[in-house]
Structure 1
Amino acid sequence: MAQSQQQLQFAYWVPNVSGGLVVSNIEQRTEWNIEYNKKLAQTAEKNGFSYALSQIRFTAGYGAENQHESVSFSHAILAATEKLKVIAAILPGPWKPALAAKQLATIDYLTQGRIAINVVSGWFKGEFDAIGEEWPDHDQRYARSEEFIRTLKGIWTTDNFSFDGKYYQFKDYTLKPKPVQQPHPEIFQGGTSRAARDMASRVSDWYFANGNTVEGIREQIEDLRAKAKQNQHQVKVGLNAFIIARDTEEEAQAVLQEIIANANPEAVNAFADATRQAGAASPEGEGNWAKSSFEDLVQYNDGFKTNLIGTPEQIAERIVAYKAAGVDLILAGFLHFIEEVEYFGQRVLPLVRELEQKQQQAKEVA
């Protein structure tokens, strides 16, 4: 099926860290324990979500005082569901590719092909310092991630794999059993910098973009796919969004303003400092969050910028506009996860599917 004919897919952020998806003291009916997350995963699966993305944190900070480890937590969610694919976030450095390849191949076998990986190059230097891990320069973190991905692919797809890189070396290594998924589990990555996009254009299956306007994401996707075409590579795009769907636009906007009004200034500003240091370290100064305001940073990955805030009709129209700009997946965060995932599945998603069908029919007539 051609990309233009495929339905847009939906993922949600797994709240496996405390504090929800906003750096705010607003009341949230979202929990980070496993029982809540099992119920959430089952609710998401029944309401049209294809993926869930677990978060990786090693240390407390920015409202996330408690964190469950991503891979083991992802496996627990997989055990509670039947169709959902879970994307486990992994940091090169703490993880070595041999361990990650074996760990994920086993989970893939146990779940019959429902694990994926999000390779996080790292933005929080304090976290790496705290656990005694090397913190390479900005572009070298992406160079390390690219080697990490290349070695994973090699281990998962070939026998007697050898690799002689700057960060990783292998000699005649054979992993058995290999993953169930062919050619291998899907590999996701994020990042806004030139190095991040160039890496995605060479090796990743999916590229996660921070929240953005339709025009902004279209420009980013055109750049990414032009580079990928030069590399004879294809990459799909996921877009981060914080969704506030309510019966009226006034209700939705009131929730947004309440979240921002109750923001934790100390945590937001500390997060801003850490992210700007990471972004400024890129040669062009265009890393993640380089152009984010205080209000933007109340939601970790600029989810408010995507503006999926309003009535079901407004949100569905904006989602389809993002699809027309080249987006393949919406990665969603919510304030009160379980009830809002259900509301989205019942009230917003059917409208998205109707609009997609009309869009496709219009193309066929043209």
Structure 2
Amino acid sequence: MSQQQSREPIKFAYWVPNVSGGLVISNIEQRTNWTIEYNQKLAQIAEKAGFDYALTQIRFTAGYGAEFQHESVSFSHALLHATERLKVIAAVLPGPWTPAVLAKQITTINHLTQGRVAVNIVSGWFRGEFQAIGEPWLDHDERYRRSEEFIRCLRGVWTEDKFTFAGDFYRFRDFSLKPKPIEPLPEIFQGGSSRAARDMAARVSDWYFTNGNTPDEIAKQVNDIRQKGAASGHQPKIGVNAFAVARSTEAEARAVVQEIIAKALPEAVNAFGAEVKNAGLASPEREGNWAKSGFEDLVQYNDGFRSNLIGTPQQIAERILSLKDAGADLILLGFLHFQEEVAFFGDQVIPLVRELEARREGARAAAE
């Protein structure tokens, strides 16, 4: 980890519940709602609480507890309209979107919101969804090759006049997008844990999202990406998924997680697990984001319990610093009851993180 990166305050993002069912596949009560009214209020709460980003989800079909979904790009714009500083990351799928269409959409929103929109390029894990909407389902590494071309085209259209590109998936000839986005360009995020995903991040992405994990396991991924990035002269920043349960005692927080798991929907969890593991098994190394995920991990879509932000505000703040030490630049958070827990996190946890960061910087300055 470079000194410059390690000294930047860690950033916070939250999953936007624009998809029904919340962030856990469970029948536990969730005071969370997928409607625009709920989410605009949540965005305002998050902005006041000190969050930097919100990430909208992209789903086209129902399943795994997500019966209703709002489209991500237009929903992101609605959240931006309701806020003043928060950045919103719109998740998109190459295939349903083309680089030309997305470049136009995001550039317009970029101008309307003074540059507060970003994109998350989702290579795809849900084969049934692609089949349902008539989109071809590519092999694992082909999906990432397509995503890399998508990103190269997106950035090319945003920066060049008479952009020309002849790839295996996309072609442009003398295309000039006007106006161009406001500088700096919209940030480009991506996820994944496979070899293809990490290699793509090391070449073209601004940010790399990984599933929840321990600091030791996160550090392995970060070091791998940094080594690859050194060869290409490109270093993405790292975002780590986590499901936060902050309570007055650790026992109370652990009890909430146990209740989530006890009330999990086994059929939906197992079906989700089969789908995502099949996607990973299709990679050459036969391992993807959810390769080592057990039933309890899969109850929270992206292994959020593994990051262990479960306990008192002080415990959570200290664990966030451990993830930062492992190389995380951003923590992407899910919650059970979003509005009230995002507010609590901003009031009780983020100030402790900033205090720990300041104390560390003071110690470094004294040592130097």
Query: Deviation at 1:188?
Result: 0.1
Match of 2:283?
Answer: 282
Equivalent residue letter for 2:35:
N
Q: How does 1:114-129 map to 2 (within 5 A)?
A: 114-129=116-131
- Matched residue, 2:205: 204
> How many angstroms apart in 2 are the aligned matches of 1:150 and 1:243?
34
Aligned to 2:129, the other structure's residue is in SS state helix
Task: State the Cα distance separating 1:39 from its structure 2 match.
Answer: 0.5
Provide, for residues 228-251 of structure 1, a one-character-per-residue CA deviation record: whole Å limited to 9, x for no partner: 111000210000000000011111
Which runs of structure 2 are paired with 1:311-322 in the superposition (5 Å)?
311-322=312-323
1:191 aligns with 2:185: no
Question: Paired residue for 2:8?
Answer: 6
Q: Counterpart in 2 of 1:164?
A: 166
Letter in 1 for 2:27: N
Alignment pair present for 1:262 and 2:263: yes
* Match in the other structure for 1:147: 149
Q: Which runs of 4+ in 1 moved over 6 A?
A: none
Match of 1:350 in 2: 351
- Report how far residue 364 of structure 1 moved: 2.7
Task: Give the TM-score normalised by the residue count of structure 2.
Answer: 0.98
Answer yes or no: is the 8 Å Cα contact 1:108–1:181 preserved in 2.
no
Contact kept? 1:14, 1:52, Cα under 8 Å: yes
Shift of 1:3: 1.6
Could you tell me how far apart the structure 2 residues matched to 1:364 and 1:323 are? 19
The residue identity in structure 1 corresponding to 2:266 is P
Aligned partner of 1:237 in structure 2 is 238
Output the TM-score relative to the length of structure 1.
0.99
Alignment of 1:11-160 (within 5 A): 11-160=13-162
Unaligned runs of 5+ in 2: none
Q: How far apart in 2 are the matches of 1:16 and 1:156?
A: 28
Matched, 1:249 2:240: no
What is the CA-CA distance between 1:361 and the residue it aligns to?
2.1
Query: How many Å separate the matches in 2 of 1:217 and 1:122?
Result: 22
1:149-193 deviations in Å (ceiling 9; x for gaps): 0000000011000000000000000000111132x1000000000
For 1:202 and 1:365, the matched residues in 2 are separated by: 37
Structure 1: 5+ residue stretches without partners? none
User: Which region of structure 1 is more displaced relative to structure 2, 53-62 or 1-10?
Assistant: 1-10
SS of residue in 1 equivalent to 2:150: helix
Deviation for aligned residue 1:286: 1.6
RMSD value, Cα: 0.8
The alpha carbon displacement at 1:2 in A equals 2.1
